[in-house]
Homo-oligomer: A and B are copies of this chain.
Amino acid sequence: MEKILGIPTLRQIEAAQLAIQPYVHQTPVLTNEGINKITGASIYFKCENFQKIGAFKIRGATCATLALSKMEKAKGIATHSSGNHAQAIALTAQLHDIKAYVVMPSSAPEIKKNATKDYGATVVICEPTLASRQETLDKIVQETGATYIPSYDHYNIIAGQATVAKELIEEVSGLEVIMAPVGGGGLMSGTALSTHYLLPNAVVIGAEPKLVDEAYRSLKTGVKQVNKGAKSIADGLLTNLSDRTFEIMTKYVHDMITVSEEEIVAAMRLIWERMKIIVEPSSAVPLAAILQQKERFEGKKIGLILTGGNVDVEQLPF
């Protein structure tokens, strides 16, 4: 896998797909009669909750790691993350037999810290601030020479995440709308790129919690915004867009929809109860958007990415 230095081309996304295939699952696409009846749409759910580590993040992490030189690999990889990217980096490192250093805030759930350690990563706990995370990481990188792999502001990460929509588009013909949730925009950028290349007539829509709606405001104003708060039940979507993801999304995402916390919980519950699958709140945000604007989506054939299934079953919002 090459290092990708600009907006990923179709050829580069194809190369990413080929390169990561031995390390990730081709996840199933599910439909549900009950939810189609309720929404009036035909929704094809791409189930990255069944992906390794329980979320799509393993794709980007693998795509970035495979692009490292032998010398870089010998020194290991490093990141900071409170969530799925931590586990993705840890598992990727384990699969490639290299070292991983993961900075995690003290506030991260014990279960995620332990899962990251279980994959063999060196977990370094820091204060629960972005400054402390970056500082702790910088120190580790200086000391070890490990390569920092960010969770979304990286073209190989974006190309890796683009393989989700690529698989979906290749499996289900004739999709008219492609939807995904937006956090830092890594998945959304990849989704928009794959759709642009492979299904240029489809409408690409990002969905975001109202409480952390900077991507919505960024795309509406044309100027990159930041989140005012950092609280939503969709804990995977609290981050801000980066320059890279903002640029791609400005070009290739057609619309954004924001939803309330109540709408997210209701959509999550609908997925749990009707589909009998476990998704994390972030995954439910696009369905919440469809339910909010039913007339707009009625009769449409929609591809929707369920991003992950890592929830603490002792802390459910129901």
Residues of A within 8 A of B (CB): 28, 49-50, 54, 269, 272-273, 275-279, 309, 313-314, 316, 318
A276's partner among B50, B273, B314, B318 (CB-CB below 8 A) is B50
* Contact A272 to B276, CB < 8 A, known contacts A313-B316, A316-B316: no
A318's partner among B28, B273, B313 (CB-CB below 8 A) is B313
Closest chain B CB from A87 CB (angstroms): 12
In the complex, what distance in Å separates the CA atom of A51 from the CA atom of B273? 13
In the complex, what distance in Å separates the CA atom of A279 from the CA atom of B54? 17
* Contact A49 to B276, CB < 8 A, known contacts A28-B28, A318-B314: yes
In the complex, what distance in Å separates the CA atom of A316 from the CA atom of B314? 9
9 residue pairs, one from A and one from B, having the closest CB atoms: A276-B309, A276-B278, A313-B318, A49-B276, A314-B318, A277-B277, A272-B313, A50-B276, A272-B278
In the complex, what distance in Å separates the CA atom of A276 from the CA atom of B48? 10
Residues of B within 8 A of A49 (CB): 276
Closest chain B CB from A31 CB (angstroms): 11
Closest residue of chain B to A111 (Cβ to Cβ) is B273
Told that A272-B278, A273-B313, A276-B277 touch, could you supply 10 new A-B pairs with CB distance under 8 A?
A28-B28, A50-B275, A50-B276, A54-B276, A272-B313, A276-B279, A276-B309, A277-B278, A278-B278, A314-B318
Closest residue of chain B to A51 (Cβ to Cβ) is B276
How many copies make up the complex?
A: 2
In the complex, what distance in Å separates the CA atom of A305 from the CA atom of B274? 20
Residues of B within 8 A of A272 (CB): 278, 313
In the complex, what distance in Å separates the CA atom of A160 from the CA atom of B272? 27
Residues of B within 8 A of A54 (CB): 276
In the complex, what distance in Å separates the CA atom of A316 from the CA atom of B50? 22
A–B complex contacts, Cβ < 8 Å, 19 sampled: A28-B28, A49-B276, A50-B275, A54-B276, A269-B313, A272-B278, A272-B313, A273-B313, A276-B277, A276-B278, A276-B279, A276-B309, A277-B277, A277-B278, A278-B278, A313-B316, A313-B318, A314-B318, A316-B316
Closest residue of chain B to A313 (Cβ to Cβ) is B318
In the complex, what distance in Å separates the CA atom of A110 from the CA atom of B318? 16
In the complex, what distance in Å separates the CA atom of A50 from the CA atom of B50? 15
In the complex, what distance in Å separates the CA atom of A276 from the CA atom of B25? 14
Closest residue of chain B to A52 (Cβ to Cβ) is B33
In the complex, what distance in Å separates the CA atom of A278 from the CA atom of B273? 8
Residues of B within 8 A of A269 (CB): 313
Closest chain B CB from A217 CB (angstroms): 32
Closest chain B CB from A52 CB (angstroms): 8
In the complex, what distance in Å separates the CA atom of A28 from the CA atom of B50? 13
Closest chain B CB from A318 CB (angstroms): 5
